[in-house]
Structure 1
Amino acid sequence: MSRPKYFTPNEVSVHNTMDDLWVSFLGKVYDLTPLCEKYKGDVLLKPIIQSAGKDISHWFNPKSKEIRTHVDPLTGCVIPFCPNGRFVHIPPPFPDSDWANDFGRPWWKDAGYMVGILSQKTRFIKIINTLTSQEQVIEVCSEEILDEILERYLKYNAHANSYTWKYDGRNLDMKQTLSENNIKDDDEDFYILSMNDDTFLQAIHLYFNDDLTEA
């Protein structure tokens, strides 16, 4: 089975328009752009558009994975709790002949909208190209293996596959995470000591393979 795609909160946050709308909730990332296209012009889209690029886990009961509910003080009935206003696929609080419930699965239960997993912990790493002496600090997901971090780095160096990745003089296992490669996450220590983490970040060194065996 292929590994899931991991995203940082910052990556989700840039998808914040109606034409490119992502949200995250309960640890997963969803692309709701097709939903916006389908319901374009519907007032029930407003709460979703207002939450574009954000985490909306607070809309849900973490145990049941359903929309949170509350007791309506007027009717005494249990209804969905929508403090930002009723949204797409939420039924009206009262009987309504215009309510169409033939949409199938509600969007929050439709795996077709899911594009990946929200990282539980991101970290910054410094990558130094020993051939060019160029340095890049990039944000990565702690759950990602080195091959996936390499994919992130390709926009800075399209030939990153032609390098051997090393830390503290030893070759890194590209099928393992940073932690599995014994590259400690020092974020908490930096915070406690009020240190500039950009200055003291652990550095991964890239050594060019000049045998032309790599594309």
Structure 2
Amino acid sequence: MSPVRAPYYTPREVSRHCSISDLWVSYLGRVYDLTPLATEHRGDILLKPIIESAGKDISHWFNEKTGDIKTYIDPQTGCLTPYTPQGRFLHVPPAFPSSDWDTDLGRPWWRDPSYEVGILSSKTRFIRIINTLTSQEQTLEVCSEETVWEILARYLPYNAHAASYTWKYCGAPLRMELTLEENGVQDEDEELEELRMDADAFTCSLHLYYNDDLTEL
């Protein structure tokens, strides 16, 4: 099995964490659990834009090169000012000097790696997994960057003994440490879209063949 690495998440998975008690966001390709931040600052009006963005991608808040909040020149003051069209939020300084602003707040939340929980997939795809022993079939949305081992982990809720099967595509065993693309399982979504064909009708299928070994992960 391949070494443990940061998990990949689909945008759909991130979107399920959309409440103040379970608050995830994604930005600049990473996924963050801001629930502890929301708990610590519960009741703070500056938390509102973050709560409203729960479960969403907020990359548009940040400068891709610096990783910091986007800025602009305020036409009234001529000063460089944080660009926050959805409203000022936690750790963003006010536009004008203020006595209640703590200039020694430390590292802003968007720079704090402790909130990071994984990587946002740049492209997801749907696959069908067919158990040839039971004829059961499941359709999963997976990340294109995931190895077959990681896809197997997604499938475990449907079959706790998934590691006891040989995984095959078109009759050929899959190398579990490689991605689907690396195994020759091509993602044809873009091509099908160009041909104006329904990608859901052409979802690729992986077949599981039982090895007579009740392995559980």
Q: Give the TM-score range, shorter chain.
A: over 0.9
2:92 to 81, 90, 93: 90
Q: Which amino acid aligns with 1:140?
A: V
Deviations 1:13-32 (A, max 9, x none): 11110000011111101110
Deviations 1:46-84 (A, max 9, x none): 000111111111101111111000111221111101101
Aligned to 1:19: 21
TM-score (norm 1): 0.96
How far did 1:97 drift? 1.1
**What is the rounded CA distance, in whole Å, between the counterparts of 2:6 and 2:98 in structure 1?**
41
Conserved? CA contact 2:129–2:205, under 8 Å: yes
Within-5 A mapping of 1:128-139: 128-139=130-141
1:74 equivalenced with 2:69 (yes/no): no
SS in 1 for 2:118: strand
Within-5 A mapping of 1:96-107: 96-107=98-109
Superposition CA RMSD, Å: 1.2
Conserved? CA contact 2:162–2:215, under 8 Å: no
SS in 1 for 2:153: helix
Quick one: percent identity of the two aligned structures?
A: 62
2:146 to 144, 147, 150: 144
**What is the rounded CA distance, in whole Å, between the counterparts of 1:199 and 1:75 in structure 2?**
57
Pairs aligned (count): 214
TM-score (norm 2): 0.95
Uncovered stretches (5+) of structure 2, i.e. residues with no partner:
none
Q: Which amino acid aligns with 2:189?
A: D
Aligned to 1:9: 11
Conserved? CA contact 2:161–2:214, under 8 Å: no
Uncovered stretches (5+) of structure 1, i.e. residues with no partner:
none
SS in 1 for 2:175: coil
